[in-house]
Structure 1
Amino acid sequence: MTSTSTSTGGSPLSPTARTTVTRGRNRAVVDRAALHALLADALVAHLGVVLDGHPLVLSAAYAFDPAGPDRDGTLYLHGSVAARWLRASGAATVCVTVTQLDGLVVGRSAFHHSMNYRSAVVIGLARPVVDPAEKDRALAMVVDHMLPERSATLRASTRKELAATAVLAVSLHEASVKERAGGPGDEPEDVAAGTWGGHIPLRVVAGAPVPDEDARGAVPPDVTARAVRMAPGGPAASRPGAR
């Protein structure tokens, strides 16, 4: 995967020294649209922060807003107010990563086995979201990231629920993206030897929604739509590189 040279708005990717790709530059992407596409496809982010003098990396649900209040857009991370890692992240510099595994690369030698992937690194000062309107919107976006249009069908969050939930915002300005696609980069002599090489595409697919024992009525349209989109052969599952 070679680097692109255009951007669809905002700053180009890798705008600072700490987000500049130094190894595998041929896989670096500078088009900010690639970052947005990856964040739209993925479902889990990993946040790294220093806690009690040592690094800690934990998974988190997230959403993103390309037109958010932070420079070049906002990444929102959701968690419990009781989580020490989330409290430690407030007003601290954090590193957030998102990765989609798109395939296993089968090389003709151990050295040339690899993986096809899309990955993003976002570095920035985490901002605790305290404004009620922004927090409510961010939480709705996290729900809608998992199930588009779901938040509009739900009751309003209670004061107790909002008080128990924390949201962090991180600017999308300092970010980098790398991608790999295709087969192995084998040595000519290994290819000539006739050993098989190629890659195995991978994707995440959804099964049919399973109602809990207290569910009533038909599966709601927003749930059905998400399941259909991610089902084998569905629009998202069939898209090249989709997860």
Structure 2
Amino acid sequence: MLKTIESIYQIATFSVIRRFLIAETIALSAFPFFLIPSSFACNRLTSLPASPGQLSNLQVLDLKGNPLTISSELHSQNRPDENPQFWQNQLERARASGDRELEGVALTNLGATYVSLSEYNRGLELYQQGMLIFQQLGNHSKEIWVLNNIGTAYKELEQYDRAVEAYLRAIAIARSQGTLVREGWVWRNLGHTYRSMKQYDRAIEAFGQAVRVFQNTNSQDDLAGVVRLLQEVQQERDRYSI
């Protein structure tokens, strides 16, 4: 299995680096995009603080449940991920109007703000409330999203077994529903968790699964990031096995 993963990695590395160099040349000649912090880049997913090399561990959605862009409303409040009051207001509006889906989104994003402020227990409580709503609505895509965030919260608490359990539940749902992109995100976060546990072979396998998903979905940025992570973890494994 590990030989297969390493073969995937080698093929992906060549393909991604080649496309990445071409894309970077075009981008730099047109606009200095790479000089803009990702949290302020238009139409990019906003993620909460993560360790170096980690991508989109905590995901925030907009009021319709789509990846969050920095709108003028949110931008005027500086960092929305550090402003629980914004999502508290949206939660109150959702409950007043009876919009259950929006209520679930607001609860989950409110939980993410508390997790970003290291109030993990409060964040996890809100995640559970949001997930219950999505389960009742049969919204599996957003259930995966919440489970991913739950896993990340437990990882930050160094409760790795619980983190792995949440990620594996999310992956099982994603596979049953054919939700490939979110499955890739969760595989990547599972890899981060195994890496923190120094279970390098499992981390390599998880990152390899993320590579497979991002290749199938043609998610070039995500693919490039996971390929780099694979290389880092393989180097760590080799260094500690000496």
Give the TM-score normalised by structure 2. Answer: 0.20
Q: By percentage of residues, which structure has more helix? A: 2
Select the structure of larger CA radius of gyration: 1
Q: Structure with the greater relative contact order (CA < 8 A, sep ≥ 6): 1 or 2?
A: 1
Give the TM-score normalised by structure 1. Answer: 0.20
